[in-house]
Amino acid sequence: KITYQLEGPAKVSVRMQEVYGLTETPKLCRGQLPLLMELLSPASRPLQLTQDLAHFWKNSYKEVQKEMKGRYPKHFWPDDPATSPATNKVKSRM
């Protein structure tokens, strides 16, 4: 679901594991407007806001991964999320 705001970019909230494998931020208006992605934890709590998913995977993800592995050990936290398959399952059901 895309949320349109009066001020600022359109936003989509999604669990981080469900966007593994995406290397680019989805865009609107024929590729002109990147969505603001609110990446959520498995408990649907906000973890990160980004309009540059590739940059997030390369830079900020490692810190988030470290914290989330401890907090949500049953979930998959790959070392390279840009090439990992998207999932909505815990590790034991994959």
Neighbouring C-beta atoms of residue 81, cutoff 10 Å: 24
* Cα–Cα distance for residue pair 86/83, rounded to 1 Å: 9
CB 35 within 8 A of CB 51: yes
* Residue 93 confidence class, pLDDT cut points 50, 70, 90: confident
Is 90 exceeded by the pLDDT of residue 5?
no
* Residue 82 confidence class, pLDDT cut points 50, 70, 90: very high
Contacts of 60-68 spanning 24+ positions with Cβ under 8 A: 64/16, 68/16, 68/41
Is 80 exceeded by the pLDDT of residue 80?
yes
Tens digits of per-residue pLDDT, 14-67? 999 999 999 999 999 999 999 999 999 999 999 999 999 999 999 999 999 999
